[in-house]
Structure 1
Amino acid sequence: MNRGYFADMAEFKQHGGKIAEANKVIIPAMEAVKFPDFEVCYSDGKTMKLPFRLCDNVVGSDKSSVPKATLVCLSFRASSQEMINSWSRPYAEAFSKSKDVHLYQVSFIDSWLLCRGPVKRFLLWTMKKPNHNESNDTLQRQTVYSFGDHYYFRKELKILNLLTGYIFLLDNFGRGRWKGSGLATEDELSSLFSSTSLLLDE
């Protein structure tokens, strides 16, 4: 889990960031594994826990606030942003009118210096984007940041290579129902879209 940059780069040159082919079909609910909880920050400094999940004690209107499908895009290095965009942009277009779908692009920041309070606050401030309300999309699309050591988080998800992007589709119980990596292909996007539609119909 703590291998170095050069090992990641050597592997990256072999497969171009495509750690494995994405799922062809949705993972059945009975076989799906719970996605690990982790904390993220918005650019305004507010924090929250992901993923949102239905609990046994959630009732009434609280249930409606939990999305039926959540796409979580994980980026550990800036070099993977193009890969993340190849998934998130077409996904946001495909489900732009769905209130039951959330999309989170998560940038992980593990540098000791950048995680220090004053530096962290300045970094988040520089990442603030003006709210122009340009879009009438219903889909909730958020860019968030996670600071600190993510060793155990990555271990649970079996993430070794930090140079590529990782995509996880979660259901309303926070279970991983589909996953992909690297640059999206047309077939993989089609599979992702159909899997999301199945979750919306469940």
Structure 2
Amino acid sequence: MSPYHSQRQLGRRFILVRQRGWQGATSVVSHARTILRLQHHPRNQHQSWRLFASSPPPSSSSTRDNNKDDEPTPTLPSSSTSTSSASSSSSSKPSSSWNRLEDANPERIHGIQVNPDSLGNDILPGNMIYKTYKWTGNVRKIPVELARGYFWMVSDLKRTDSKPTLSNQTLIPESDSQPFPKLTGLFTLEDPSTTVDIPYFFLDPTAYNTNNNNNTNNNVNTVGRITLLAVTFRDNGFKMIPTWTRPFRDAFNSMMMSSSDVKVQTYQLSITEHWVLYPLRGLLTRVMRNNTPSPEDRSNTILYFGSKYVDEFRDILRMHNIMTSYVFLLDDLGRVRFAGSGEASPEEIQHLIQLTKELIQEIAGCGNNSHDGNNKRKKTKK
């Protein structure tokens, strides 16, 4: 009997100890003695190390002495090889945030300031992130939930004080501003039977043809409409919206009903991504409608159910954490000029109102270089 066969038999006998009781235990002991005898047999001396050792047995002293001059001394791999392998592994690692985000979406709004303490700085399109494994040093792109846990958004809000996006200190320059991303298939709380598309709906809601489902919004008048849009995904963020919209409405209440060239308006966008709730969208809409008695608030509340195009929509606006609220200030051409998140502080509200007044002057042509600004806007609209 070979030692390999005896080892397998010993493993099987250990499994049957409980079934056979004392007789099985005695059989295991006798079988172990058989293995020891086979290991010490001269015929199996050269391979007995494979049973219980992790490294090959050293050769005998006589053989080592006789072959000392004939065989070269084994050496470890050279340091250059290890250095080259280390350099190759390090080259595969992203060395900086720019390298990590080199495959990010080029349509992201560059003027949006992501909080330095937020994980959103490292998130790639599709909610992916690079993770470096501690023991191997390998870098792989995996979903954020696998890299940081399912509740990473909660910890991210604690680190950033519920502000993953910082408020802009100045208006995003007109030359650097980018258009608000397109999202279709929405409807207002006032008229759930009619679908609208944003940002076209913000530019001129009165010109939106509600009777034509194939409306392309070619005749939308974009003159003089400044929009403050609040976006939420969860109830926690929905509760933060009034801290932005109420003071803003009070400051520009006269301009909201004005018929002049410049008009200020506010909208709330509620996005429900859960596919489980999609069949219940009619019931949820009726509940929200009953909880919103004001007709003005109903017409200013926009709903979206589903997950199609939402991932790209969130990535462009850097809304990686959906446990809070986001606000965006759009000019008369539907371009993002300001962004913020979380619950608004009094300083942020005053700053937003001041920036909105500057934007009004820019649109109305009352600021510096007003004539050039009007020419640029006319060319842009063409």
Scaled to the shorter chain, the TM-score interval is 0.7 to 0.9
> Are residues 1:79 and 2:239 paired?
no
> Are residues 1:109 and 2:269 paired?
no
Decide whether aligned partners of structure 1 residues 174 and 142 sit closer, same or farther in structure 2, where only a CA change above 3 A counts. same
Q: What percentage of aligned pairs have identical amino acids?
A: 30
Relative contact order higher in (CA < 8 Å, ≥ 6 apart): 1
Name 2:178's counterpart in structure 1: 33
Q: How big is each residue's C-alpha offset from its partner over 1:98-126, in whole Å with a ceiling of 9 and x where there is no partner?
A: 1311211111101112222xx21121122
Alignment map for 1:20-59 (pairs within 5 Å) = 20-39=165-184, 40-43=186-189, 44-45=191-192, 46-52=194-200, 53=203, 58=219
**Is the contact made by 1:103 and 1:141 (CA closer than 8 Å) also made in structure 2?**
no
The DSSP-based 3-state class of the residue aligned with 2:278 is coil
Q: RMSD of aligned C-alpha atoms? A: 2.4
**Is the contact made by 1:75 and 1:165 (CA closer than 8 Å) also made in structure 2?**
yes
More strand per residue: 1 or 2? 1
Q: Count matched residues.
A: 190
Over 3 Å off, 4+ runs: 2-5, 129-133
Decide whether aligned partners of structure 1 residues 167 and 34 sit closer, same or farther in structure 2, where only a CA change above 3 A counts. same
Cα separation, 1, equivalents of 2:182 and 2:227:
14
Question: 5+ residue gaps in structure 2?
Answer: 1-126, 128-142, 205-217, 257-262, 364-382
TM-score (structure 1 length as normaliser) = 0.84
Cα separation, 2, equivalents of 1:80 and 1:47:
24
TM-score (structure 2 length as normaliser) = 0.46
Name 1:63's counterpart in structure 2: 221
Alignment map for 1:1-202 (pairs within 5 Å) = 1=127, 3-4=144-145, 5-39=150-184, 40-43=186-189, 44-45=191-192, 46-52=194-200, 53=203, 58=219, 62-63=220-221, 67-99=224-256, 100-116=263-279, 119-129=280-290, 142-149=300-307, 150-201=310-361, 202=363
Structure with the greater alpha carbon radius of gyration: 2
Shift of 1:84: 1.5
Q: How big is each residue's C-alpha offset from its partner over 1:110-157, in whole Å with a ceiling of 9 and x where there is no partner?
A: 1112222xx211211222146566x8xxx9971121111111101111
**Is the contact made by 1:26 and 1:195 (CA closer than 8 Å) also made in structure 2?**
yes
The DSSP-based 3-state class of the residue aligned with 1:18 is coil
Question: 5+ residue gaps in structure 1?
Answer: none
More helix per residue: 1 or 2? 2
Of 124-133 and 9-18, deviating more is 124-133
Of 99-108 and 164-173, deviating more is 99-108
One-letter amino acid matched to 1:97? S
